[in-house]
Amino acid sequence: MTEFVLRISYYVLRKIPLIISAVFFFLGISSLTFADEPSYGDAIIVSSISDAHTLVPILASDSSSADICGMLFNGLTKYDKDVRIIGDLAESWDILEDGLVIVFHLRKNVKWHDGVPFTARDVLFTYNKLIDPKVKTPYSGDFERVKSLEIVDDYTLKVLYKEPFAPALSSWGMWIMPEHILKNEDLNKTAFGRHPVGTGPYIFKSWKTGEKIELVSNRDYFELKPYIDRYIYRIIPDDATIFLELQTQGVDLSTLSPLQYTRQTNNVFFREHYNKFRYPSFGYTYMAYNLSDPKFQDARVRQAMNYAVNKEEMAKTIFFGLAEVTTGPFMKDSWAYNKDVKPAPYDVAKARKLLGEAGWKDTDNDGWLEKNGERFEFTVLVNQGNGERQRSAEMIQKYLKDVGIRMKIRIVEWNTMINEFIDKRRFEAVMMGWFLSRDPDNYDIWHSSKTREGEFNFVGYKNEEVDRLLTFGRRTFDETKRAAIYHRVHELIYADQPYMFLYSSDILPIVNSRFRNVEASPIGIGYNFIKWYVPKSEQRYR
């Protein structure tokens, strides 16, 4: 994947879209530390199967864009290694009036990459753009709950909420933008998207479309200067080519396919030069339907297709046991996930019965279903370079053929898929994935108000009870009560089947062993990336 995700830094973890290549932010299985003296220098080369779309932080709705924005920008808050919310651009805060008011105290030693001081005005500017209906951001939902944002002084902000909002602190992990550069810009068109200026540990250097994005370390970063001098994000839109690059050590950090992890990296070379990790995904893969398409408007049809596909077989044959069938729409290990919602069994007879009830019949005995003279056929979009998704689509194609549905597969370059098909709703079905937050609030994905261009409810899902529960869940602080709310949301969404929920696959990152201070934690191996280093004797790049 690069995945369609809800972004990284804290904000990405709260929502999303990792991201396949954003392996930094997940739970590792081991801890790799060394006694060498930390040294500055060298570069890390990270692979991605897709290019970024934009580096305007509040528009970064894909994982590649989020990967880079996470290195360039900061929010007011973030997660620490134990998944606790701590300060980032905010050094502290006060929560008042039973959570209706948050007063943020900002750091005073932060500068934008162009040397201009960061102040509360930048936060107010970012907030105003997040709620501006003319800005095509998918992140407005969290900030619509804010009644007012007041600047007390250059380094103090007062946020007043209209009502209690459980994810309030975490929502301020949203990346902050520079007012002095963007105040007169149209964010949907600004050149800033290709030449960003942030406050983060790395500074933008160059972007060669379809080839690489290069960042350099921020020597004045307020936390500490990163040890690794350069961060090079190589776009290699093919898993097999990435694997060849690993074999020649042309890539330092990547995500392995299940085949590569289980069968192709257990030799002496890989044991000597790389460290592998395996841990559960923060999300799931799905096939989504455009619910404005008449073929998919009858829930019986969507339910029938779910019965028609053997997802257990898919998980076993494609992922070699490194994936589990899921019923979505939350992470499998989340307290919000309703374990009583069981995956629909593989049942061809049940699928045919439901399709017949919905009016789809093989009237001319040619093996294909028809209704009102129209054959049941559609095209699913799959992003280029994602072998597991493509193989999953091929298996679904076979299963659906067995019940009389013809599914075509179209492989599309990632940015084209998002910009020309998803955002413009020019698709029948699409295979994608969400990488989600530890907080289960997924209002932006499922609420019926979040269907504008660039927003996350791109399938047009609408269920009034789900809308009500999602809103209520955001107002509820008690975890037990919130769990009950989200369990019901889970039950309703799975019954409606706006997506065919497929599987949650393990994340399988691999890191060149010359990098030291790589530490596993509940939030992953990248929470301390600025402390990664390579001993002078092993440095490879100037």
In this predicted model, what pLDDT tens digit does every residue of 227-242 receive, in sequence order?
999 999 999 998 899 9
Q: Mean pLDDT over residues 168-174, rounded?
A: 95
- Amino acid letter at 104? F
Residue 270 has pLDDT above 60, yes or no: yes
pLDDT of residue 439: 85
Residue scoring higher pLDDT (10 or 342): 342
- Considering its fold, how many domains does the chain have in total? 3
Question: Is residue 206 in some structural domain?
Answer: yes
Question: Averaged over 202-227, what is the pLDDT?
Answer: 97
Paired tokens of 54: 């934009």
Domain of 238, CATH number, reads: 3.40.190.10
Distance CA 66, CA 9 (A): 8
Do 383 and 494 share a structural domain? yes
Which residue pairs, CB below 8 angstroms and at least 24 apart, start in 115-118? Answer: 116/178, 116/180, 118/89, 118/176, 118/178, 118/199
Of the candidates 353, 368, 378, 373, the one whose C-alpha atom is nearest the C-alpha of residue 295 is 378
Structure tokens at 108: 């005073």
Q: Which amino acid is at 454?
A: G
Token output for 379: 């095209």
Same domain, 321 and 244: no
Query: Do 171 and 232 belong together in one domain?
Result: no
Would you state the pLDDT for residue 35?
A: 53
| Cα 144 from Cα 168, distance rounded (Å) | 11
Task: Identify whether residues 240 and 274 lie together within a single domain.
Answer: yes
My answer on whether 339 and 485 are in the same domain is yes
Q: Is 66 inside any structural domain?
A: no
Contact between 351 and 403 under an 8 Å Cβ cutoff? The reply is: yes
Rounded distance between C-alpha atoms, residue 78 and residue 218, angstroms: 19
Per DSSP (E only), the strands in 290-405 are 323-325, 370-371, 374-375, 377-383
| Distance, CA of 498 to CA of 477 (rounded, Å) | 28
Q: Specify the range with the lowest mean pLDDT, choosing from 194-203, 285-294, 438-447.
A: 438-447
Cα–Cα distance for residue pair 6/78, rounded to 1 Å:
15
Whether 122 is covered by a domain: the verdict is yes
Co-location of 141 and 222 in the same domain: no
Q: Please give the structure tokens belonging to residue 76.
A: 């007011």
How far from chain centre, in Å, is Cα 98? 31
CATH classification of the domain holding 161: 3.90.76.10
% of the chain exceeding 90 in pLDDT: 82
Q: Is 369 strand, coil or helix? A: coil
pLDDT of residue 99 exceeding 70: yes
Q: Identify whether residues 287 and 275 lie together within a single domain.
A: no
Q: At 110, give phi and psi (nearest 5°).
A: -105, 135
Averaged pLDDT for residues 254-267 = 94
Instruction: Please give the pLDDT value at position 437.
Output: 79
Please state the length of the chain: 542
Specify whether 340 is located in the same domain as 473.
Answer: yes
Displacement of CA 212 from its chain's centroid (Å): 20
Q: How far apart are CA 190 and CA 184, in angstroms?
A: 10
- pLDDT score of 474 more than 50: yes
65 domain-assigned: no
Q: What is the pLDDT of residue 277?
A: 85
- Model-level pTM? 0.84
> Which pLDDT tens digit goes with each residue over 356-395?
999 999 999 999 999 999 999 999 999 998 889 999 999 9
| H-assigned helices in 133-192 | 140-143, 168-171, 179-182
499 is a domain residue = yes
Residues 11-54: tens digit of each pLDDT: 333 333 333 333 343 333 344 444 568 999 999 999 999 999 99
Q: Report if residue 13 sits inside a domain.
A: no
> In three state form, how does the secondary structure of 337-349 look?
CCCCCCCCCCCHH
Same domain, 421 and 295: yes
Same-domain status, 146 and 238: no
Question: Residue 505 corresponds to which amino acid?
Answer: S
Structural domain harbouring 320? 283-505
Same domain, 496 and 361: yes
